Amino acid sequence: MRVSMEVGERPVRGARSAGGETLKAAVFDLDGTLANTLPAISKLLVKVAAEQGCSVTARQAATAIGKPPAAAFGRLLGRPEDDGRVQAAISRYRELFAYEVLCQGPQLLYPGVTAGLSALRAHGVELAVATSKTTRSAEALLDVMGIRDLVGPVVGQDMVRRGKPHPEMVLRAAGRLGVPAWQSAYVGDMRMAVTARMEPVAVTYGSGTFGELAAVAGTRMCSSFKDVVSVIAAARPRPAAAAAGTVGRQRRAAVPVGAQQRRR
């Protein structure tokens, strides 16, 4: 039996359609994927850097978003990650985060996220979040946006020994869902997805440029969250043996969602 689900007005085929088994889980990055926090975070990074005596442009701040806090402020301040001013900047950033970012609540959601996550859940796709934020900060953001109940495990950088782009974070999220990595997608950092042997799904509406995202072979390129849902609902897991040979040997070029659909 063919199953469909609605995301806005677009029906997509489900994860249990007659055409074959599709992905069982999806792990999402947070900033720039589910939450449009980039402008507010960039502004906050500039403010905190200025308090530490460093003049940082919004563009420079944007390049630090998505990195662990110590790496981000170390880069912006031009100091070692364990430097006292870097640690002071991290503390100040966390102090101001609720007032500068969380206060915007559901307005931070990208269009279609709530409906899309609900549709995937209704189809039996397990959902999780893996982010460079601390787990507490990520939980707070998901809560104020009203989508905490739509995702399962939340894995922050404080829960792993090695942060991005090491795959430990996404592998831990998939493990907590009880789904093998090769039967999962990761929407976020493409290097993490490929190294973890997950299906790499990129969004062009976030911080990455098309060229940067397309540099990783095999990436599914999505221009909206509706496209993300369509890709996850239709993608089939790679055989475990094939997945093991993915790293360094991918042959498919990154193709926009529409182009991939025309090929099928």
* Catalytically annotated residues: 29, 31
57 phi/psi in degrees, rounded to 5: -85, 165
Q: What are the residue ranges of helices labelled H in 10-158?
A: 38-51, 58-64, 69-77, 84-100, 113-122, 135-145
Closest by CA position to 22, among listed 170, 162, 123, 111: 123
Alpha-carbon distance 218 to 235, whole Å?
Answer: 12
Are 209 and 165 a contacting pair, CB within 8 Å? Answer: no
**The tokens of 39 are what?**
């402008």
* 190's tokens: 């493409």
Give phi and psi for 246, each to the nearest 5: -70, -45
By CB atoms closer than 10 A (0-12, 13-18, 19+), residue 82 is: exposed
Could you give the CA distance from residue 131 to residue 147 in angstroms, rounded to a whole number? 15
